[in-house]
Structure 1
Amino acid sequence: MRISLDGVAPPVWRLVQVPGAYTLDRVHRVIQYAMGWQNYHLHSFDIAGTAYGEPDPDDDLDLVDEMEVRLDAVTARGTRLRYTYDYGDWWEHTVEVEDVLAADPDERYPVCLDGSGACPPEDVGGVFGYAEVVAALGDAGHPEHAAIRERFGAAVETFDPRLATTLLRRLA
């Protein structure tokens, strides 16, 4: 699966392999670990017009229980779905099932094969807040450069698929 964070520059994306038998709640955790999110907020999937996620005890959100649905039951090669994380910052991800392969008996899954760009910090203000952080970090003369660098660090492009795979192995 290719997971791309929509609307951000520099681009943030990951290429991961997951078992088709994973339920959507496990796919959610794969996305969290692979992207670098901290799982602080609500999320949902939109697959072919059906919304999946954690059931809402107040019934404010009409979601199919993600723990009851396997990935291979609702997707196939070429399926594109939406994953939304943090309803305040509203991070939208496009997830594409690029291929469906037989499992390699010598490989442990899930695995992150590739990717680019560091995940935006939690609670940064969504796409527009993140754009401000990137602009300030890229301009030493920006009035907020030092404060933003202290709060969020210097790197917005760093990503290591090996580290992501190590985190993903906690799911296996």
Structure 2
Amino acid sequence: MPRQIFALRMSLAGVRPTIWRRVLVPGGYTLDRVHRVVQHAMGWRDCHLHSFEIDGMQYGEPDPDCELSVHDELDVRLDAVVGKGSRFHYTYDFGDWWEHDLVVEDAVAADPDERYPTCLDGERAGPPEDVGGPQGYLLLLAALSDPGHSEHRSMREWVGPGFDPEAFDPGRVRTLLRRLC
């Protein structure tokens, strides 16, 4: 039986215009591997805690010192908790609180000539780490777009000259995802 591949559309909640990605992920991936796919696809660096919420259940890295009770993501395969048409959530960085809406758009047989996971498409750069969540990101965008803004220079220096909020390169994400194979 061929491997099942899920077409996932992930979008970042609370940010307009929408930042989104479409990726193909093996259904047999455990949720910790799906976490790494989201990290690479959105441009995050895995510097913070995260969790998945699927059908009211929380999944992540169990921490005995934390009050949040989560099921161990290492023990749960994607195809065991979602299927075509399923919607679920991924939250990254409990300080900035980046919520991602994920939808399983399709479930297909793996193409033997394709390497998975892979990124098909997307729009806009992911926000930089530690920018302050959706509100902080909106403030960053406002400062960057207005050379007369009092924070323009400091924000441009902080984010670096190469940051373009409109830019997205699915080929770069594909290259990063190949390391997960």
TM-score between both structures, scaled by the size of structure 1 = 0.98
Of all paired residues, the percent bearing the same amino acid is 63
- Give the structure 1 partner of residue 180 of structure 2: 171
- Give the structure 1 partner of residue 166 of structure 2: 157
Superposed counterparts of 1:87-98, under 5 Å: 87-98=94-105
> Deviation of residue 59 (structure 1)?
4.7
The alignment status of 1:80 with 2:87, answered yes or no, reads: yes
| Stretch deviating more after TM superposition (136-145 or 26-35) | 136-145
- Give the structure 1 partner of residue 5 of structure 2: none
- Give the structure 2 partner of residue 7 of structure 1: 14
Q: Runs of 5+ in structure 2 lacking a partner?
A: 1-7
CA RMSD of aligned residues (A): 0.8
TM-score between both structures, scaled by the size of structure 2 = 0.93
Superposed counterparts of 1:62-141, under 5 Å: 62-141=69-148
Q: Describe the SS at the equivalent of 2:138.
A: helix
Q: Runs of 5+ in structure 1 lacking a partner?
A: none
- Give the structure 1 partner of residue 3 of structure 2: none
> Deviation of residue 9 (structure 1)?
2.3
Q: Describe the SS at the equivalent of 2:91.
A: strand
1:65-114 Cα deviation digits (max 9, x unpaired):
00000000000001000100000000000000000010000000000000
Q: Describe the SS at the equivalent of 2:95.
A: coil
Structure 1 runs of 4+ with >3 Å offset: none
Count of aligned positions: 172
> Deviation of residue 124 (structure 1)?
0.6
Structure 2 Cα separation of the partners of residues 137 and 11 of structure 1 = 18
